Amino acid sequence: MSDTSEKTGNTGNAGKTGSTGNPGKTGSTGKIEKTGRTGKAGKTERLSVFKTYKLYVGGKFPRSESGRVYEVTDSQGKWLANAPLASRKDARDAVVAARKAFGAWSGATAYNRGQILYRIAEMLEGRREQFAREVADAEGLSGSEAAAVVDATIDRWVWYAGWTDKIAQVVGGGNPVAGPFFNLSTPEPTGVVAVLAPQESSFLGLVSVVAPVIATGNTAVVVASERRPLPALSLGEVLATSDLPGGVVNVLSGRTAEIAAPLAAHQDVNAIDLAGADEELAKELEIAAADNLKRVLRPRPVDYSAVPGIERMTAFLETKTVWHPTGSLGASGSSY
């Protein structure tokens, strides 16, 4: 597939820019090649097929219920696509989908979740060129820079795939209480997490905030970068074909402030990652989030190219501690 798409340039944004041509900007991975067609009338240029970018909610690809779209442009201001302008209702629908998916996803074995996250990396690997083009367009990167971002993003899925069955051993464990009790602390997912994806890093940043949330068994409602939503919307297509159950990740595009407000106030959302909010919005959302005591991860500068650490996982984990009496096998001491 990737070979074909590179030759024909008929997937993703390259196709769109291709119709008007802008090879200087899109760089090598966004290389525009026209597929010649020889007809009776002579050589004509093939008209590329645009993709309708849609939301990803509950494993399906709906348009916004509002019927609204907004124009997404590249870093030079050139039109790339019309993205869905998600509404409050879309946000609430996404929460319902995420809640519905939570039981099975949090109840899946950690090994199973790890395999699925790894599968996402596999699926992305096969679509590297498409995402490199979308990232290059979105972030104004050269082809090689964008390719490096995509590679790092794929590797990030692999990194978190390996964490699913290890985090409990790192942050949980037995506690030596002073009494005849077995006492075990285990991390458990917080629940439905609203994630405001970073505004600048449209793909690596996005995956860096989504992967840790779902690796541990949470489900997510993700608000894509407002001006650079296309890589996030395309990621939905990858997630849909990676054995990830529908509803585990839901992707919305639109005005961050408009979608985030109902999510921060939603009584069935358990936590919110404010990575994509500016200072003023973050404060408003944190105040709204207090109504049902959501766990709040405040925005702070992050170098998404660095090794992430476990903080984004532990931010959305609860610790459950279970006690049980150990009893006694008699006062005689050693059982040997």
Partner 1 sequence: MTTDNGGKRPAAFEYAPAPESRAIVDIAPSYGLFIDGEFTEGAQGRVFKTVSPSTEEVLSEVTQADETDVDRAVAAARRAFGTWSALPGSERAKYLFRIARIIQERSRELAVLETLDNGKPIRETRDVDLPLVAAHFFYYAGWADKLSYAGFGPDPRPLGVAGQVIPWNFPLLMLAWKIAPALATGNTVVLKPAETTPLSALFFADVCRQAGLPKGVVNIVTGDGRTGAALVAHPDVDKVAFTGSTAVGKEIARTVAGTRKKLTLELGGKGANIVFDDAPIDQAVEGIVNGIFFNQGQVCCAGSRLLVQESIHDELLDALKRRLSTLRLGDPLDKNTDIGAINSAEQLARITDLADRGEAEGAERWTVPCELPSSGYWFAPTLFTNVTQAHTIARDEIFGPVLSVLTFRTPEEAVAKANNTPYGLSAGVWTEKGSRILAVANKLRAGVVWSNTFNKFDPTSPFGGYKESGFGREGGRHGLEAYLDV
Q: Helix count (H) and strand count (E) of the chain?
A: 13, 12
> Is 208 one of the binding residues for partner 1 (CB under 8 A)?
no
Burial status of residue 184 (CB atoms within 10 A of its CB: 0-12, 13-18, 19 or more): middle
The answer to whether the CB of 64 falls within 8 A of the CB of 94 is: no
Q: Which stretch binds partner 1 (CB under 8 A): 133-141, 178-186, 233-241, 243-251?
A: 178-186
Shortest Å distance, C-beta 247 to partner 1: 19
Compare residues 130 and 270 and give the one whose CB is closer to partner 1. Answer: 270
Q: How far is the CB of 279 from partner 1 (least distance, A)?
A: 7
Among 1, 2, 28, 323, binds partner 1 (CB under 8 A): 323
Stretch that binds partner 1, among 62-70, 156-164, 248-256, 317-325 (CB under 8 A): 317-325
**CA dist 161 → 120, 197, 212, 213, 247 (Å):** 9, 20, 9, 12, 19
Nearer to partner 1, 23 or 172 (CB): 172
CB of 157 to partner 1, least distance (A): 24
Nearer to partner 1, 33 or 318 (CB): 318
> CA distances (Å), 29 to each of 76, 121, 183, 201, 304, in order?
17, 20, 55, 18, 22
Piece of the chain touching partner 1 by CB under 8 A; list 24-32, 216-224, 242-250, 323-331: 323-331
Give the nearer residue to partner 1 in terms of CB position, either 24 or 325: 325
Instruction: For residue 292, give the nearest of 167, 194, 181, 215 by alpha carbon.
Output: 194
- When the beta carbons of 144 and 326 are compared against partner 1, the nearer one is 326
287 binds partner 1 (CB under 8 A): yes
Instruction: Please provide residue 131's backbone torsions phi and psi, each rounded to the nearest 5 degrees.
Output: -70, -35
Q: Which of 42, 325, 330, 333 binds partner 1 (CB under 8 A)?
A: 325
Which pair of tokens denotes residue 139? Answer: 């972030």
Measured from the CB atom, is 26 or 218 closer to partner 1?
Answer: 218
Q: Does 169 bind partner 1 (CB under 8 A)?
A: no
Instruction: Give the number of other Cβ atoms within 10 Å of residue 151's Cβ.
Output: 16
Supply the minimum distance, in Å, between the C-beta of residue 297 and partner 1: 11
Of the candidates 248, 204, 238, the residue with the CA atom closest to the CA atom of residue 58: 248
Contact predicate 236/61, CB 8 Å: yes
Of residues 2, 166, 290, 305, which one binds partner 1 by CB under 8 A? 290
Segment holding 130, helix H or strand E = helix 128-139
Q: How far apart are CA 252 and CA 223, in angstroms?
A: 5
Q: Sign of dihedral through CA atoms 314, 112, 107, 193?
A: positive
Residues in the chain: 336
Name the minimum Å distance from CB 155 to partner 1. 23
Shortest distance (Å) from residue 183 CB to partner 1: 5
Q: State in angstroms the smallest separation of the CB of 266 from partner 1.
A: 14
Residues forming contacts to partner 1 in the complex (CB under 8 A) are: 170-171, 175-179, 181, 183, 185, 190, 270, 279, 282-283, 286-287, 289-293, 295-296, 311, 314, 318-325
